[in-house]
Amino acid sequence: MRVIERALTVPHDGVRGGACEGFLAAPARGGDTGVLVLAGSSGRIEDERCRILAREGLTALSVRWFGGAGQPPGICEVPLETFVSATELLRSRGARRIGVLGTSKGAEAALHLSVLHPGTDAVVALSPTSLTWANVGPGRDGRTHPYRSSWTWRGKPLPFVPYDDSWTQTEPDGTPVAVLGWYERSRQTFADRVDAATIPVERSAADLLIVAGGDDAMWPSLSSAQELAARRRTAGRPVRVVTHADAGHRPRFPGEGPAPVSDRFLYGGSPAADAALGAAAWPYVLDVLHGVASCCRFTEPK
């Protein structure tokens, strides 16, 4: 399928106003389904992922939601309205169904958006969390401490779980670090803040697909996926979970190359297992974004 692509600027109505750098890929013949594609803490614009989605008939938009001009330098009190504006741009281009596909921190944002903004029809959460976490990196003031929420809505920070700074890595200094234990320790230390910080996915009317690897070394995405699915099942809401025991934090879809090797973090998994998880999830990703009713009507993880 022939794809049209272009870089663009997306105005947004966050608390401070401004605009986001973005990339849009769309089928040349047009289409009535749009998807907002959100990266995690890398902050990158997911142009490759947009292209493969566009080849499947979706109008795909990815934006830089932090670290750009006029934005917080880190994931610190990022206005969720940023993403509302991006979905409105998709609607202005003829999309009648709106999906959000987010990875890691992008999945955290996507889940919140589906709860807070009724215009979200579907969410694909890759390697998600079930909680709102503290900032990753500095805020507009250039400071990382004291900890603040990753997100705001209508100018107010969302309740969050801070990090326990007494945690120490087990890997030798100067080598990549697995921070899974940091998240697990922080959840235990600040257990009194977990309920308020839990993402209330049972309130979301969106179809929900969750993809998580059992060897995620960044944070507990598989147990989070199970928590999210349980909340959906209790509320009678549609959900499907796709997992792979040996996959890590970065599942890769057909047509995508392996995730780049990091000298800072251990993500878990392997190129083969991450690709296997992405391949297993891919048909369901397309179904939920296109609105195929059967995609997420199963209540047991698959």
* Distance (Å) of CA 117 to CA 81, 112, 146, 154: 9, 8, 29, 12
Q: Are 45 and 103 in contact (CB under 8 A)?
A: no
pLDDT at position 13, please? 56
Least confident of 115-119, 147-151, 160-164: 115-119
pLDDT at position 277, please? 98
Confidence of residue 227 (pLDDT cuts 50, 70, 90): very high
Partners of 218 in the β-ladder: none
Please determine, for residue 127, whether its predicted confidence score (pLDDT) is greater than 80: yes
Please determine, for residue 69, whether its predicted confidence score (pLDDT) is greater than 90: no
Token pair in block for residue 37:
């594609």
> 7-15 — which CB contacts under 8 Å span 24+ positions?
10/61, 10/63, 10/85, 10/86, 10/89, 11/85, 12/79, 12/81, 12/82, 12/84, 12/85, 12/86, 13/81, 13/84, 13/85, 14/79, 14/81, 14/82, 14/85, 15/79, 15/81, 15/152, 15/155
pLDDT at position 9, please? 86
Mean pLDDT (the chain) is 93
Please determine, for residue 107, whether its predicted confidence score (pLDDT) is greater than 50: yes
pLDDT at position 297, please? 61
**CATH class of domain segment(s) 3-290:** alpha beta
User: Could you read off the pLDDT of 18-40 as tens digits, one per residue?
Assistant: 788 999 999 988 889 999 999 99
- State the burial class of residue 207 (Cβ atoms within 10 Å of its Cβ: 0-12, 13-18, 19+): buried
DSSP classification of residue 133: B
Share of the chain above pLDDT 90, in %: 82
pLDDT at position 301, please? 41
Please determine, for residue 125, whether its predicted confidence score (pLDDT) is greater than 80: yes
Region label for 187, one of left (φ > 0), alpha (ψ between -120 and 50) or beta (otherwise): alpha
Nearest C-alpha neighbor of 161 from the set 70, 224, 207: 224
Confidence of residue 150 (pLDDT cuts 50, 70, 90): very high
**Domain chopping of the chain, boundaries:** 3-290
